[in-house]
Chain A
Amino acid sequence: MKLLATLSVVSLSLIACGAGKKEIQNLGSDTLLEVAGALAEAYGKTHPDIAISVSGGGSGVGIKNLIDGDVDIANSSRPMKQKEIDEAKHNGQNPVQHKIGFDGIAIYVHKDNPLQSITLEQLKELFGDGGKLTKWSELGVTFAADSDKVVLASRQNNSGTYECFRDGVLGGDKARFKQECNNLNGSKDVVDFCGQTKSAIGYSGIAYATKDVRVLPVATKTGAVPVTPTIDSILDATYGISRPLFMYTNGEPTGDIKSYLDWIKGDGGQRVLQDKGYVPLRKL
């Protein structure tokens, strides 16, 4: 399904790309695919002479293309690793990082789940390998016996959301998830799964909330005030699980690429980002 989305965005941008237009290649993170497409579309309305072709494939794919010098702007939902920066330098590229916004990772449960809030420690015990929490009754929630077992909705092991949750909640890249996790293949899939499974708990971007799920406020530690993920709580870092979103260019951008990135970081682009459910760099 992600592939389909990628293809459709690519073909749309191909149609939009008339003769004589200057083209900017933009590819990478699937998390950023939708918002990157919206940004390109909005920018195209005011700059009809620039064609921006957007495609997905994943943060790793975008960075790989940047290292090989095959793309103008690479999207990534994680910072480049030192190994990747070294490889790029070796190839004569000079990756420059541009922070374009933030994504909050919300904890989702079924809409009928009475749980009021959860702490980071509880999340670690639920999702982390060797964690002791396995039943809803241990969290003070009474379900029928057949649904007392907590069903864990996670992501496939190379998604940016997976890495962000692992690093932020389980404690770094050496931490392991429980094997019992259902590894779903998209941000939306996690939310759908929680909406249809009464005993499920999962994590996904805040942009994906639906009426079938509830977003749990998260307390950074036992006894602390639980915080709901909002633009304010993510910007002032009182909400515990969020991550910056990046675009990378080769060297300091110039010309059309610079104008585009400046627009994204400016109010126009940030408003598009906010409308798509992500958190802008500053309060608009």
Chain B
Amino acid sequence: MAPSPLTGEPASAGQPPWAKALDHRDRGWWSDFAARTIVWLGGMSAILFIAAIFLFIATQGLEFMRHRLDIGAMLTGARWEPTVEPPVYGALPLIAGTAWITGVAMLIAIPLAFGAAIYIGEFARGKQREWLKIGIEMLAAIPSVVWGVIGLHVMKPIIQDVFGVQVGLNVLNAGIILGLMAAPIMATIAEDALKAVPDSYREAAEALGATRWQVVWKVVLPHARPGLSAAVLLGIGRAFGETIAVLMASGHRLMVPESIFDSAATLTATIAAELGEAAVGGDHYQMLFVLGLLLFVITFTINLLADWLVRGRRKSA
């Protein structure tokens, strides 16, 4: 018999005598086989899709990247003018815009998310705790286009009035919107990290006379640090990859921002805004896929790092 695709083990000679009876191919065996195959396909599909998406993005932009693109000039070029003759593909304004907006988003999301996680995980009790958790999950489910509209119509006039700036679509606006979008996910992961700290640690600290806050600050938070870092990294990944809300709230100015009141453009928003009209297979089209590849590599690295941190915590716990 050929090796099973599921176990990869050839039938061995040294099987116990009852093995043959178990190997009897009745209906139970076939339904088990079918179920295992379907589950295996489901499991493998995740990897398959990731690989296929990566290959698709990479091949779409490959020819241009290999023959006509100076990657160094792309990463440091300050002008993004793909439809002017001759076209200029400097991605620095987009990379800087993404970094600025993500930075502001994290300044807003980290205190919010960690505050929420600590309150829910360590202080809230009973019904209140359940309601808060449901609230956070619902917040995470708000579609990003709704956040974009909030940025465009609510945050914009507020920023213009409060800070006395002319343009309310800027790094600050997009950063606040993204921060609020990333916070619920970060809070959920951070709360999981706090929950994973054994209660015996808290009890030991309390027995030594520590106050509730001292327990949180000196015992729980340090122990949960890998999980909290993972929460931050996943939040960064979320902020990095978000498209439509940023496109609507950032003002889309193709210049390296100098302050949080400057409008900015991000990698994702640029792809979304320009891909629809770019001639399929042309340089501009391929260049947008190169940006996609850059984005893919960045978010993939961030997620991998987060995963590694979480695994590190599990192993040490």
Contacts and interface: CB of A to CB of B under 8 A. Distances in A.
Given A151-B167, A173-B84, A64 B252 contact: no
Interface string B263-280: 101000000011011111
**Residue of B85, B274, B277 most packed against chain A (CB within 10 A):** B277
Contacts of B279: 60, 63-64, 84
A147 interface: yes
**Residue of A59, A183, A199 most packed against chain B (CB within 10 A):** A183
Contacts of B276: 2, 30, 57-58, 60-61, 158
Contact of A180 (B85, B157, B247, B255): B255
B274 A158 contact: yes
A147 B145 CA distance: 30
A158 B247 contact: no
A30 B275 CA distance: 13
A198 B253 contact: no
A149 B166 contact: yes
Contact of B157 (A182, A196, A198, A200): A196
B79 interface: yes
A230 interface: no
B210 to A, nearest CB: 52
A82 to B, nearest CB: 13
A174 B280 contact: no
Contacts of B83: 157-158, 162-163, 173
Interface in B276-313: 276-280, 284
The interface residues of chain B, by DSSP majority, are classed as loop
A149 B166 CA distance: 9
A151 B160 CA distance: 14
A146 interface: yes
B185 interface: no
Given A157-B82, A179-B254, A182-B263, A58 B166 contact: no
A61 B277 CA distance: 6
Contacts of B165: 146
Contacts of A60: 276-280
A182 B167 contact: yes
Contacts of A146: 164-166
Interface in A61-113: 61, 63-64, 84
B84 A158 contact: no
B81 A199 contact: no
By size class, the interface of chain A is 35 or more
Interface string A30-69: 1000000000000000000000000001111101100000
**Residue of A57, A151, A156, A173 most packed against chain B (CB within 10 A):** A156
Contacts of A163: 83
Contacts of A61: 276-277
A197 interface: yes
B277 A181 contact: no
B156 interface: yes
B166 A198 contact: yes
A254 B82 CA distance: 38
A182 B252 CA distance: 6
Nearest to A6: B276
B149 to A, nearest CB: 9
Nearest to B279: A60
Give me the 10 closest cross-chain CB pairs, A-B, nearest first: A58-B277, A158-B277, A156-B273, A60-B277, A58-B276, A183-B252, A179-B255, A157-B83, A182-B251, A174-B85
21 contacts: A1-B145, A2-B276, A61-B276, A64-B279, A156-B274, A158-B274, A162-B83, A174-B84, A175-B84, A177-B81, A179-B254, A180-B253, A182-B167, A182-B252, A183-B265, A183-B273, A196-B156, A196-B157, A196-B168, A197-B166, A198-B166
Interface of A: 1-2, 30, 57-61, 63-64, 84, 146-147, 149, 151, 156-159, 162-163, 166, 173-177, 179-185, 193, 196-200
